[in-house]
Structure 1
Amino acid sequence: MNRYLKEVVDLHVLIEALFGGAQGTVAAMLGRFHRDFTMVTPGGAQLSLDDVASLFAQRAGAQPGLSIELCGLETIAQWPEGAVVRYRETHHLPGQPAKTRVSTAVFSDEGGRPLWRHLQETWAA
């Protein structure tokens, strides 16, 4: 597994721990993002890194029992300074229907570290 796909897995482990049980910190997660990070949510909202930081803080501990399943991880393109990857992400909460999205992420390499630069999420059909 290349380092960009590993970063997808590693961040989702942190998200699951933070949202599901308030374990970890928002600050630790934000260090994985480029300062100019942008995101488009499944509903079409456009978010900045500050917006994502607020979202993470609001959801900390708010989804007890959350588990996140990743599949279909693939590298679409890779070059010396970054990559584009795609994956399916399913959130499972006790007593609720699962929610699946297809995500495409752009990474930049900053000093040998993969940083999230842009994320586009779309609800899976």
Structure 2
Amino acid sequence: MNGYMQEVIDLHILIEATFAKAEGRIETMLERFHPDFSMIAPTGDQWSLEELAALFNQRAGSQPGLTIGVSDMETLAEWSEGAVIRYQETHRIPDQSERKRISTALFSLEGERVLWRHLHETWAA
């Protein structure tokens, strides 16, 4: 497993803890993102880093029992300053249907830091 794949796993562990239990510091989580981060949500909405930060703050502790599974990770491309990783996320909340999405993430490597630069999520069939 490369460092980019490990970053996908590590961030989703933090998101799960934040959304399920309001544990951790959102500011620490946001340090994993490039200042020019952008995202396309499964709904087609486009988000900036500031909008993502607002989402993290809004959802902190709002989904008790949430678990997030990451599977089917694949390196689509890798070069000296970054990579593109595709993976599937499965969100489970007790007494609700699970939701799956396929995500493609663009990472940049700045020194030793792996930063999320762009994320595109699509609902999985």
The two structures have a TM-score, normalised by structure 2, of 0.99
Q: Report how far residue 79 of structure 1 moved.
A: 0.1
Q: Any gaps of 5 or more consecutive residues in structure 1? A: none
* Matched pairs, number: 125
Residue type of the partner of 2:80? Answer: P
CA deviation after TM superposition for structure 1 residue 14, in Å? 0.1
Matches within 5 A, 1:81-96: 81-96=81-96
Q: Which runs of 4+ in 1 moved over 4 A?
A: none
* Mapped partners of 2:25, 2:35: distance in 1: 18
Offset from partner CA, 1:59-96 (integer Å, 9 cap, x none): 00000000001100110000000000000000000000
CA distance in 1, matches of 2:22, 2:109: 29
Percentage of matched positions with identical amino acids: 59
- Provide the alpha-carbon RMSD of the alignment: 0.4
- Aligned counterparts of 1:12 and 1:103: Cα–Cα separation in 2: 12
> Normalization by structure 1: what TM-score?
0.99
Deviation at 1:111, TM superposition (A): 1.3
1:45 to partner: Cα distance:
0.3
Match in the other structure for 1:45: 45
Q: Match for residue 102 of structure 1? A: 102
Alignment of 1:12-91 (within 5 A): 12-91=12-91
Q: Offset at 1:110?
A: 0.8
Quote the Cα distance in structure 2 between the aligned partners of 1:70 and 1:82: 20
Work out the CA distance in 2 between the residues paired with 1:38 and 1:18. 21
User: Are 1:7 and 2:7 an aligned pair?
Assistant: yes
Q: Provide the rounded CA distance (Å) in 2 between the counterparts of 1:28 and 1:91.
A: 22
Q: Distance in 2 between matches of 1:45 and 1:7?
A: 24
- Residue 25 of structure 1 deviates from its aligned partner by 1.2
In 1, the alpha carbon distance for the partners of 2:44 and 2:121 equals 9
SS at match of 1:19: helix
1:95 aligns to what SS in structure 2? coil
